[in-house]
């Protein structure tokens, strides 16, 4: 069946409207020095645990020469670093440096704020209809499968804190064999956060996809100069997506914006994935101590990051 002229015109009209609405025609996306393509490449590197230039070119449909020049420019600016894959030394894995994570965090916040400003005047019903219509566009133009919804980071809402306590209790029991004394400790931390919450200096991020909560992280004030990172967790189905790294990066970007001089945290040496994230962000191990807690013999670790 042939496509009619009015149908073609309607789609073209919508694309003109949308590109103008979100500023894609501007030299820099979201008043940043980065183009749309550059911003998308930074997004993919930030949200993937292991990605190569060939992966990016293939999945984003970018010309290899154009992408190579872009990545070289990022490297010259100190935004990305390369390292050989442990499984195949011929593959060069890309990751964001501290400067790159800061640049991406600014873009990510600006993007979220722009979309929130667009949606704020709409009623809850209109927002639901809009999101549903956009999902239909993705499904019809992108293929027969409904695309996976993105993982978004949002502030806490009523009911979230009980869920965070519940999932910590369940996951640490299932994965590490910790007993029921761990859950009330998490509940005490959450209760103190709610009672003493300072929105200018503290924050909770809830990671959500659709109606499913996939993780969380908290930053709480210890003093005027020191903040504490707490209660990082990622649901099993979201591991390997870069969500843990994204949560930690967002937390540290906020700490820097608040003017903290240091971020500290306490963890245990058996939490390998979390410890690797902290090390990658530049945290230094300052003290270890053996303790018996949650029904297990553990080694507690104190980590610090000078901002």
Look at residue 197 and tell me whether its pLDDT is greater than 60: yes
Domain count, the chain: 2
205 in the same domain as 159: yes
85 in the same domain as 171: no
Task: Kindly state whether residue 45 falls inside one of the protein's structural domains.
Answer: yes
pLDDT of residue 237: 86
266 in the same domain as 198: yes
pLDDT of residue 301: 94
pLDDT digits (tens, 9 = 90+) for 5-34: 888 888 888 877 776 666 554 544 455 677
pLDDT of residue 163: 94
Q: For residues 191 and 185, is the Cβ–Cβ distance under 8 A?
A: no
Q: For residue 123, what are its two tokens?
A: 């009623």
Average pLDDT, the chain: 86
Look at residue 125 and tell me whether its pLDDT is greater than 50: yes
297 in the same domain as 157: yes
Percentage with pLDDT > 70 across the chain: 92
Q: Give 148's pLDDT tier (boundaries 50, 70, 90).
A: low
Look at residue 144 and tell me whether its pLDDT is greater than 60: no
Task: Kindly state whether residue 48 falls inside one of the protein's structural domains.
Answer: yes
Count the alpha carbons within 13 Å of 136 in the hemisphere toward its beta carbon: 6
Which segment of 62-66, 113-117, 253-257, 288-292 scores lowest on mean pLDDT?
113-117
53 in the same domain as 173: no
What is the pairing mode between strands 262-268 and 226-234?
A: parallel
Task: Give the rounded distance of the alpha carbon of 85 from its chain centre.
Answer: 23
pLDDT digits (tens, 9 = 90+) for 198-216: 999 999 999 998 878 999 9
Task: Kindly state whether residue 121 falls inside one of the protein's structural domains.
Answer: yes
Within 10 Å of residue 249's Cβ, how many Cβ atoms?
Answer: 25
Higher pLDDT, 18 or 173: 173
160 in the same domain as 134: no
Look at residue 106 and tell me whether its pLDDT is greater than 60: yes
pLDDT of residue 185: 94
Closest of 248, 230, 155 to residue 186, by C-alpha: 230
274 in the same domain as 171: yes
Looking at 120, 142, 164, which one is the last position of a domain?
142
Looking at 78, 113, 142, which one is the last position of a domain?
142
Alpha-carbon separation of residue 223 from 141, 189, 226, 260, 261 (angstroms): 51, 17, 5, 9, 10
pLDDT of residue 22: 64
CATH of the domain at 208: 3.40.630.30
Higher pLDDT, 135 or 261: 261
Task: Kindly state whether residue 258 falls inside one of the protein's structural domains.
Answer: yes
pLDDT digits (tens, 9 = 90+) for 68-97: 999 999 999 999 888 887 777 677 888 889
What residue numbers bound the domain in which 256 lies?
152-306
Task: Kindly state whether residue 190 falls inside one of the protein's structural domains.
Answer: yes
Q: Is the pTM of this model over 0.75?
A: no
Look at residue 49 and tell me whether its pLDDT is greater than 80: no
pLDDT of residue 31: 58
Which segment of 40-54, 212-226, 253-267 scores lowest on mean pLDDT?
40-54
216 in the same domain as 131: no
301 in the same domain as 156: yes
Task: Kindly state whether residue 147 falls inside one of the protein's structural domains.
Answer: no
pLDDT of residue 13: 84
283 in the same domain as 215: yes
CATH of the domain at 78: 1.10.10.10
Look at residue 138 and tell me whether its pLDDT is greater than 70: yes
156 in the same domain as 301: yes
Task: Kindly state whether residue 68 falls inside one of the protein's structural domains.
Answer: yes
Look at residue 52 and tell me whether its pLDDT is greater than 80: yes
106 in the same domain as 208: no
What's the average model confidence in pLDDT over 183-210? 93
Higher pLDDT, 33 or 103: 103
What's the average model confidence in pLDDT over 219-242? 93
Task: Kindly state whether residue 223 falls inside one of the protein's structural domains.
Answer: yes
Looking at 83, 118, 142, which one is the last position of a domain?
142
């Amino acid at each position: 069946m042939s496509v009619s002229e009015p149908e073609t015109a309607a789609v073209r009209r919508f694309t003109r409207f949308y590109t103008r609405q979100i500023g894609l025609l501007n030299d820099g996306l979201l008043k940043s020095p980065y183009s749309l393509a550059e911003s998308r490449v930074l997004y993919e590197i930030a949200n993937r645990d292991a990605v190569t230039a060939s992966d990016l070119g293939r999945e984003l449909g970018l010309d290899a020469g154009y992408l190579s020049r872009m990545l070289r420019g990022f490297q010259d600016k100190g935004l990305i670093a390369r390292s050989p894959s442990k499984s195949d030394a011929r593959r060069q894995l890309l990751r964001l440096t501290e400067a790159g994570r800061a640049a991406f965090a600014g873009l990510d916040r600006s993007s979220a704020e722009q979309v929130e400003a667009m949606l704020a005047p709409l009623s809850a019903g209109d927002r639901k209809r809009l999101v549903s219509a956009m999902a239909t566009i993705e499904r019809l133009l992108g293929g027969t499968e409904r695309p996976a919804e993105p993982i978004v980071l949002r502030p806490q809402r009523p009911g979230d804190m009980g869920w965070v306590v519940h999932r910590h209790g369940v996951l640490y029991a299932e994965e590490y064999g910790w007993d029921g004394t761990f859950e009330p400790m998490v509940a005490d931390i959450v209760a103190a956060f709610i009672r003493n919450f300072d929105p200018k200096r503290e924050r909770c991020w809830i990671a959500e996809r659709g109606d499913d909560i996939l993780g969380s992280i908290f930053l709480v004030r210890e003093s005027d100069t020191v903040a504490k990172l707490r209660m990082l967790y990622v649901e099993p189905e979201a591991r390997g997506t870069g969500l843990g790294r994204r949560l930690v990066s967002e937390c540290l970007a906020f700490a820097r914006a608040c003017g903290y001089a240091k971020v500290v945290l306490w963890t245990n040496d058996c939490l390998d994935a979390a410890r690797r994230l902290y090390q990658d962000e530049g945290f230094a191990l300052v003290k270890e101590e053996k303790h018996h807690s949650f029904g297990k013999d553990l080694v507690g670790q104190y980590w610090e990051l000078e901002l």
